[in-house]
């Protein structure tokens, strides 16, 4: 039987850790992608925060980004994506996705202002088995409610952890798994909660993050 080993070069580069550097509001009863927009380390350039979609608003509706010429659904935009107004450097998070129309958690766009949305995902450089560890912390929560932390592979949940709250103070959750990935598969961190109102994820490297390391090929 052939036994495959992982080369020192791959062990050195096939890893990354990223975290959220900005507070993210998560709407209630919505599956939302967590915006991990800052890297702790990424020696192999495997964590992708490149541009997903950009353009110019061609309408004005409160708490919406209107760009009638862009199909946000097929572009891969999802709830939880962070939208940057590149005209005035303000930000909001997507709550509902439709063709040509994004519902946002803030009123930051008017007609003719420009925008960009970036990816927030780990992309496997080689086929192999990867250790994935992730955590988040909500700033406040509601007694008796639940929060889910989910690892998504290529847009589908493959592993999750769940935490029930017995307080209205902070709520944290963690999860880990060993995941089989093919080269160019990608991983994202998502969340869901059933509180009565939106709740904010705590920013910071120690609070909301994902770390991925190649174990073997």
Burial of 195 (0-12, 13-18, 19+ CB in 10 A): buried
Question: What are the CA-CA distances from residue 51 to residues 89, 119, 154 (Å)?
Answer: 16, 6, 17
Q: Cα angle at 158 between 99 and 171, to 5 degrees?
A: 85
Q: Where do you find CATH 2.60.120.40 in the chain?
A: 8-46+123-216
pLDDT the model gives residue 2: 47
CATH number of 51-118: 2.40.30
Q: Whose CA is closest to 149, among 98, 207, 213, 78?
A: 207
pTM (two decimals): 0.87
| Span 158-207, pLDDT tens digits | 999 999 998 888 999 999 999 999 999 999 999 999 999 999 999 999 99
Least Cα distance to 34 among 172, 167, 197, 189 occurs for 189
Domain with CATH 2.40.30 in the chain: 51-118
pLDDT tens column, 112-167: 999 999 999 999 999 999 999 999 999 999 999 999 999 999 999 999 999 999 88
Cβ atoms of residues 129 and 180 within 8 Å: yes
pLDDT on residue 3:
44
Query: Architecture of domain 8-46+123-216 in CATH?
Result: Sandwich (2.60)
């Amino acid at each position: 039987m052939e036994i495959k080993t992982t080369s020192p070069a791959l062990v050195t580069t096939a890893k990354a850790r990223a975290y959220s550097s900005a507070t993210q509001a998560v709407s209630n009863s919505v599956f939302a992608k967590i915006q991990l927009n800052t890297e702790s380390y990424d020696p192999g350039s495997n964590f992708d925060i490149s541009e997903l979609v950009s353009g110019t608003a061609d309408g004005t509706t409160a708490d919406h980004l209107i760009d009638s010429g862009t199909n946000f659904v097929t572009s891969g935009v999802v709830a939880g994506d962070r939208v940057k107004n590149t005209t005035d450097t303000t930000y909001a998070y997507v709550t509902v996705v439709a063709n040509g129309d994004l519902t946002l958690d803030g009123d930051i766009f008017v007609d003719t202002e420009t925008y960009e949305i970036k990816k927030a995902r780990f992309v496997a450089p080689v086929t192999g088995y990867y250790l994935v560890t992730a955590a988040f912390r909500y700033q406040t929560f509601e007694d008796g409610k639940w929060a889910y932390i989910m690892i998504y592979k290529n847009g589908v949940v493959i592993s999750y952890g769940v935490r029930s709250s017995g307080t209205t103070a902070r709520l944290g959750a963690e999860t880990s798994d060993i995941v089989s990935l093919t080269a160019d598969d990608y991983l994202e961190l998502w969340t869901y909660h059933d509180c009565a109102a939106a709740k904010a994820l705590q920013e910071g490297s120690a609070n909301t993050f994902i770390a991925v390391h190649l174990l073997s090929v």
